Amino acid sequence: MKRKVLVIEGDGIGKEVIPEAVKLLTLLGDFEILKGDAGLECYRRCKEFLPRETLEKAEESDIILFGAVTSPKGVKDYKSPILTLRKTFNLYANVRPINNFGLLRLEGYLGKNKFLDVKNVDLVIIRENTEDLYVGFERELYDIAIADRVVSKKASERIVRFAFEYAKENKRKRVSCIHKANVLKVTDGLFLKTFYEVAKNYKIEADDYLVDSASYLLIKEPERFDVIVTTNMFGDILSDEASLLLGSLGLAPSANIGERKALFEPVHGSAPDIAGKGIANPMAAILCVAMIFDYIGEKEKGNLIREAIKHCIEEGKVTKDLGGSLKTHEVAEEIIKYVTNY
């Protein structure tokens, strides 16, 4: 039986990059493709940001490919569809590979003195995706608002084990835990303790960093990091920050992985400013397709796509965000040409 993939294009450039990604998906694999609606335009049509019908299709799918949605202004009780999908299907591991294909060079000068030189960035951020400040427990009394930051042993163990298994499978050398246990002694204390307990079962290096220090070192000395595991909110911040190392958000894919299902989404948003012009970079969406093949155990196909993207970057066959002049569909065509001639 074919695997079912639910495709949710969403808003803005989601509608431009996802169709290109689907071309790669169906070219290299054999899936049953479903289509689902979500986002702001969907809301304008049917008063729902994530219709029940889409959730039902998601339920019966193995994989979700999600574009991007535009957040509304001034809609009370708005809940991002992506948060609902994560919660509904318990997609507990958020995986963000930061791989610049060895092509980016970041240099810094102070006067004549070079101090930054970043090449060959290849790290992965694994973010706990279900709890922390995302549990949605907030309350207000008089003029004081309080949110619960929840860290459980169970979820900590699960995400840390996921990180070490990921490291093992992908022949990574080190897992670094990022936390703020010097201030959050109980919550991050639990996370950090669990990290080192789980680490004992693996022959993989384990170390840890405070989140403030990590936010500095991540860009300054990215070669320190290999696999990073962290709690939800720190992961949210650090993974967007790490995209700096790619030069463009247009190169950043992500996966949200659960026990039975996984959702893949480019990190960039719906980008209303460039939507409709056909100039959005489809590479992040196409890298999501590579992650889908990794996920179903067809890693050679994932690698082939990544190779094609590396090739296009080397040849300057890129969109404007990377300094090129190609259109969205032209970049996709170049990638398709590469993988079909292979």
Question: What is the rounded CA–CA span in Å between residue 244 and residue 235?
Answer: 15
Residue tagged 């403030």 (tokens): 212
Judged by CB under 8 A, does residue 323 bind a copy of itself? yes
- Closest contact distance (angstroms) between CB of 129 and a copy of itself is 12
The DSSP code sequence of 265-288 is EESS---TTTTTTT----HHHHHH
Choose the catalytic residue: 15, 180, 261, 317.
180
> Which amino acid appears at position 118 of this protein?
V
Q: Which among 217, 211, 225, 147 is positioned nearest to 182, based on CA atoms? A: 211
* Binding test (CB under 6 A) with ligand IPM, winner from 80, 84, 88, 152: 80
Tokens of 278: 């056909």
Q: Does 236 bind ligand IPM (CB under 6 A)?
A: yes
Using the contact rule CB under 8 A, the part of the chain among 19-27, 58-66, 242-250, 275-283 near a copy of itself is 242-250
Do 285 and 18 form a contact (C-beta atoms < 8 A)? yes
Asked whether 89 and 255 are in contact (CB, 8 A), the reply is no
Which one of residues 324, 334, 335, 339 is an interface residue with a copy of itself (CB under 8 A)? 324
Instruction: Note whether 216 binds a copy of itself by CB under 8 A.
Output: yes
Backbone angles phi, psi at 116, to 5 degrees: -130, 130
Q: Find how far residue 248's CA is from the centre of its chain.
A: 14
Catalytic residue among 87, 240, 310, 327: 240
CB within 8 A of 13, min separation 6: which ones?
A: 67, 68, 268, 270, 271, 274, 275, 280
Binding window for ligand IPM (CB under 6 A); candidates: 23-31, 33-41, 53-61, 79-87: 79-87
Query: How far apart, in whole angstroms, are the C-alpha atoms of residue 226 and residue 172?
Result: 7
Kind and range of the H or E run holding 194: helix 187-199
Q: Can you tell me the distance from the alpha carbon of 292 to that of 25, in angstroms, rounded to the nearest whole number? A: 9
Size of interface with ligand IPM, in residues (CB under 6 A): 7
Catalytic site residue 212? yes
Contact positions with a copy of itself (CB under 8 A) in 138-197: 138-140, 143-154, 180, 182-187, 189-190
Q: Using the minimum distance from each CB to ligand IPM, give the nearer residue, 216 or 277.
A: 216
**Cα distance from N-terminal residue to C-terminal residue, the chain:** 27
Of the candidates 2, 78, 212, 216, the residue annotated as catalytic is: 212
- C-beta of 57 vs 127, nearer to a copy of itself: 127
Touching ligand IPM, residues 172-191 (CB under 6 A): 182-183
Looking at the Cβ atoms of 207 and 212, the one nearer to ligand IPM is 212
* 196 touches, from a copy of itself, ligand IPM, none (C-beta below 5 to 8 Å by class): none
Give 30 or 143: the residue with its C-beta nearer to a copy of itself. Answer: 143
Residue ranges in 52-71 that form contacts with a copy of itself under rule CB under 8 A: 71
User: How far apart are CB 217 and a copy of itself at their closest, in Å?
Assistant: 9
Q: Which residues are catalytic?
A: 134, 180, 212, 236, 240
Residues that bind ligand IPM (CB under 6 A): 80, 82-83, 182-183, 212, 236
